[in-house]
């Protein structure tokens, strides 16, 4: 596979070793293992450029501060990789919770931004954002949509103001399991209401596909009931509508596949089913559909972010521990960059 472009840089995520794993599921895959498999992946001489990192146990101690950041940097650099976007561990402080909950949320963002700033100063993190969500379930949000949306906005505003002190941008990942972010219209409304220059949207191809189907928000469904997945034009029209609304906000991007179903694994609430890159049940033509996010309505490259990341959570350990899995993912990422990258 010929490499046509060298931007955006290609990153793998480390958190699939944690998300959906744990006491009620399969064992966690260590950060060291995730880094080893990422670094070992290679397709015709092309390798991953870096990793995006979840700053949560057991991969990382968010309270380890600058010393922890330095240890993380050394570990990643030893594999010839750079660090990009970071995931703040905000789930102990739901944005629609008490004042103490909201304080916890903001504190986790602050600690994550301190880590991010340290990694930037060390030169191992040339780009990337800090990822957040509302840490609040849809059913809890729905008990008081107006009041809870106001709480989410206020919490996000506080977090943005803290992040600005560290020169960081926050990206809210649109996912149907998070209240106030569970539909494309609600996501836009939340971002508009936060009204801060340093907040944007993290688009995940798997999760945003679910937006078109109206899970958890039937009134915002775009694809018709009983949609025939073989009709690509209908799907492309739906993706155009979603991306027209959210692309102007998008500052971070996850390449992913989805089979059009939802499920939950471990402690993770109902959400989109990330598929393997080569899954025959995948509903997206990944390299083509990535273009709805990476190009504007005129087909011109946006160059809105300098790296893209594969996000494939909830695979079995049997699948994740096969090197072929990561080679297939890398091959898919190269196809996306060849179609929508630059040099």
What is d(CA 145, CA 338) in angstroms, rounded to the nearest whole number? 42
Q: List, for residues 146-202, the tens digit of each pLDDT value.
A: 999 999 999 999 999 999 999 999 999 999 999 999 999 999 999 999 999 999 999
Q: Read off the pLDDT band of 3 (50, 70, 90).
A: confident
* Residue 256, phi then psi, degrees to nearest 5: -165, 165
Q: List, for residues 84-104, the tens digit of each pLDDT value.
A: 999 999 999 999 999 999 999
The answer to whether 254 touches 16, Cβ cutoff 8 Å, is: no
pLDDT of residue 295: 98
What is d(CA 104, CA 92) in angstroms, rounded to the nearest whole number? 7
What is d(CA 230, CA 11) in angstroms, rounded to the nearest whole number? 31
Helix (H) or strand (E) holding 212: helix 205-213
Q: List, for residues 99-108, the tens digit of each pLDDT value.
A: 999 999 999 9
């Amino acid at each position: 596979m010929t490499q046509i472009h060298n931007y955006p840089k290609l990153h793998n995520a480390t958190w699939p070793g944690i998300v959906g794993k744990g006491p009620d599921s399969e064992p966690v895959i260590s950060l060291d293992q995730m880094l080893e498999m990422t670094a070992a992946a290679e397709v015709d001489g092309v390798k991953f450029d870096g990793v995006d990192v979840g700053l949560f146990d057991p991969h990382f101690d968010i309270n380890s501060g600058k010393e922890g950041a330095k240890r993380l940097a050394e570990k990643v650099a030893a594999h010839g990789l750079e660090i990009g976007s970071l995931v703040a561990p905000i789930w102990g402080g739901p944005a629609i919770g008490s004042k103490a909950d909201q304080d916890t949320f903001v504190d986790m963002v602050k600690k994550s931004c301190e880590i991010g700033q340290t990694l930037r100063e060390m030169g191992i993190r040339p780009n990337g954002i800090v990822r957040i969500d509302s840490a609040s379930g849809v059913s809890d949000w729905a008990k008081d949509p107006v009041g809870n949306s106001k709480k989410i906005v206020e919490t996000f505003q506080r977090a943005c103001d803290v992040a600005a002190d560290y020169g960081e941008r926050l990206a809210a990942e649109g996912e149907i399991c998070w209240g106030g972010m569970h539909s494309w219209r609600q996501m836009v409304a939340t971002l508009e209401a936060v009204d801060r220059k340093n907040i944007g949207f993290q688009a995940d191809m798997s999760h945003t596909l679910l937006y078109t189907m109206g899970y958890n928000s039937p009134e915002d469904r775009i694809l018709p009931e009983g949609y025939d997945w073989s009709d690509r034009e209908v799907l492309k029209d739906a993706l155009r509508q979603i991306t027209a609304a959210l692309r102007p906000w998008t500052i971070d991007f996850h390449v992913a596949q989805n089979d059009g179903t939802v499920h939950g694994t471990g402690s993770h609430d109902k959400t989109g089913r990330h598929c393997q890159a080569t899954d025959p049940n995948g509903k997206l033509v990944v390299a083509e559909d990535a273009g709805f996010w990476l190009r504007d309505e005129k087909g011109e490259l946006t160059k809105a972010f300098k790296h893209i990341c594969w996000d494939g959570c909830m695979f079995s350990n049997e699948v994740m521990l096969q090197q072929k899995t990561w080679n297939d993912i890398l091959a898919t990422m190269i196809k996306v960059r060849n179609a929508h990258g630059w040099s």
